């Protein structure tokens, strides 16, 4: 079994039409999401979303890849460097 990792997904939504699909994806991975913060940046007509996960690496990669495939959505992943327990 793969060890869990803590990661942050930084998401920028430029196409509001993709919001419903994005929310559906996040709902599928809800058991791994620790927290979520969204900021509408009205001056630039984008939304900035930060998702914090505690999940196996393949789950994090899968979610990040699926989010990045949505039209008008950019996603980058940052992994925490945690000491071995």
Per-10-residue mean pLDDT, the chain, length 85: 91 96 97 97 97 97 97 97 71
pTM of the model: 0.90
Q: Evaluate whether 6 touches 52 at the Cβ level (below 8 Å).
A: yes
CA distances from 42 to 14, 26, 39, 48, 54 (A): 11, 23, 9, 10, 30
Q: What are phi and psi of 51, to 5 degrees?
A: -120, 130
Domains of the chain: 4-70 (3.30.70.1150)
What's the alpha-carbon Rg for the chain, to the nearest Å?
13
């Amino acid at each position: 079994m793969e060890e869990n990792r803590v990661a942050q997904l930084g998401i920028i939504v430029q196409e509001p039409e993709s919001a419903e699909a994005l929310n559906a994806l996040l709902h599928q991975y809800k058991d791994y999401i620790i927290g979520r913060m969204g900021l509408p940046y009205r001056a630039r007509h984008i939304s900035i979303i930060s998702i914090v996960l505690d999940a196996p690496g393949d789950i994090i990669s899968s979610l990040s890849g699926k989010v990045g495939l949505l039209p008008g959505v950019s996603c980058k992943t940052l992994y925490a460097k945690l000491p071995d327990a």
